[in-house]
Amino acid sequence: MAFPALAALAVTMTPTASAAPFAAYVMDARTGQPVFRQNADTRLHPASLTKMMTLYMAFDAIESGRVRLDSRFTISTKAANEPPSKLGLRPGQQIELRYLIRAAAIRSANDAATAIGEGLAGSEEAFAQQMTQMARALGMNNTQFRNAHGLTQQGHFSTAHDMSVLGRHLFYDFPQYYNLFSRRSADAGVAQVASTNRRFLDDYPGADGIKTGYTRAAGFNLTASAQRGNKRLIATVFGGTSTAHRNQVMAELLDASFPRIPDRVREVRPQRPRMLSQTTTRRAQVEPTPAATQPEPQRLVLAASPAPAARPSAEVPTASLVATAAPVPDLTEALRQAGATVATPAPVAGLSLSNSLRPRPRPGSRMAEAVAEAVAEATSAVPAPAASASLAAPVLASSVRPRAAPNRASPVNTTATASLAAAAATPATAPVEQTPSGSLKLNSSSPPRPRSETVILAAMGEGDLGNAEALEIVRRPADSGRGWAVSLGLYASQAEAERELLSLALQDGGVLGTARRQVADTRRGFEAQFVNLTRSQAQLACERLHSKARDCQVIAR
């Protein structure tokens, strides 16, 4: 759509026959709606506007965790040999990604852009394919990339509309990095770089980015973003005849478009593309082993093991329960013989009771009469002692009284139960101790050891029950391994040395910004030093200073 005022402006911007083809596009950044267009879908050379996509791919890789800002990229010979504009990288040099991004965005360095593409995709050709795929995902349907820097190449093209769409995505998708496009200068690691867009940023109020481009085939290109109040415009100009002409046309387009858009409008943010990442799976080559290739499966043979022990019989050995007959008549034996005369049911096969107490007979029964006769016969054979008036006193005197069961109020006879328990708990060959009275009891045993309340946290060596050795705590100083420094030389005064240290620390916040500044008062003058560095940090900092024609020396402290 072209408004009447902008239509007249378009006539004045028609390039001469010798200039590159002209195209322009202006959109409302809040909604993505077009405000002005002229040859907006004509495929032209984008020049260094290509680096907008290179940087978009780098920001996406950082956010997805594939790389980090401090990832170090190795510079290839191809990247180092790119024509200007360039940072001056050397083949084999390693540099952090953050510096490559600054150089590509601010200085528009071609060698830095190629290094980014090779570092992210392995080669510039593979990176260009990924850039084209991302362009399709963003809706840039008339764009195709062949390199990461934008130098003229067959099949490398874009449009003013597509570059404006890309600029809008940079603004909304990566706001944390967008301020990079508004910087006038930055530290690129090996050099301090100045912005190629600083003239337009300084001259046009509200401008805050984003990228310039120039080749002979493309002319002077610019994608810019500017804000006034609640309004924001993103515009692209292709085919300017000079930097001044391009900036003037961009300013006129923005001035004419701001009044044409509403002050308040519902913001429609662009949707970020969902790209499927490609991963390469490498299969390890493993030599086949005989065990894996033989046709017959291996047989596992167990070593000879001893035969299992015979299952113990359910019956309790009677040999351990036999007691020597008492010299005096036993009342229990008499009762047993008396009960034998009464018919009892046949015992069940496999079950037998040994020396259990018979229940008391019911009064008036045949059993009671037999028991009375047996008692009378047993007691008549023994003369009654003079001191006892009871007939059963001799029998009771020679017997062991039963012990009361634990935690029970009434005592019970546990003689037979104890005998059975002892026989079951001890081997069949163990002898049973006999008392003079003929009763059975267990051999004396030591009481169980009390349970220890100590909690064993870790098992020590076999048989090692001694105390663990005392833990030895070794402390290292906080600056362990940081005994290196970078000396900047001697200065006439302490204040001058401190100013120099502070200036360099602000310029290089990566290493020197974290080092401790120190001024040593020597006989020859005041020596400015960056201390508390590792050896690698000190060497890296000194190399950066050498690249800036600054004298320095790495010293060990």
User: Encoding tokens for residue 383?
Assistant: 């003369």
CA distance readout (Å), 269 to 29, 133, 171, 186, 264: 9, 21, 10, 30, 15
| Maximum separation of any 2 CA atoms in the chain, in Å | 157
**Residue found by looking up tokens 């490498």 in the block:** 282
Element (H, E) at 238: strand 231-240
Beta-ladder partners of 186: 193
User: Encoding tokens for residue 329?
Assistant: 């008549």
Produce one character per residue of 256-266: b if its CB has 16 or more CB atoms within 10 Å, e if not. Answer: bbbebbeeeee
Beta-ladder partners of 225: 209, 234
Residue 405 to residue 403: CA distance in whole angstroms: 6
User: Encoding tokens for residue 551?
Assistant: 């004298």
* Positive or negative: CA dihedral 284, 289, 295, 298: negative
DSSP string, 301-349: -PPP-PPPPPPPPSSPPSGGG--PPPSS--HHHHHHHHHHTS--PPPPT
DSSP string, 21-32: PPEEEEEETTT-
Short-list 113, 263, 109, 106, CA closest to 180: 106
Short-list 79, 83, 66, 61, CA closest to 118: 79
Residue 269 to residue 228: CA distance in whole angstroms: 19
3-state secondary structure at position 427: coil
CB 542 within 8 A of CB 510: no
* Positive or negative: CA dihedral 493, 494, 497, 502: negative
Which positions are catalytic? 48, 51, 108
Strands 526-533 and 516-521: antiparallel
Residue 526 to residue 142: CA distance in whole angstroms: 63
The pair phi, psi for residue 175, each rounded to 5°, is -65, -25
Residue 554's Cβ-count burial label (10 Å; 0-12, 13-18, 19+) is: middle
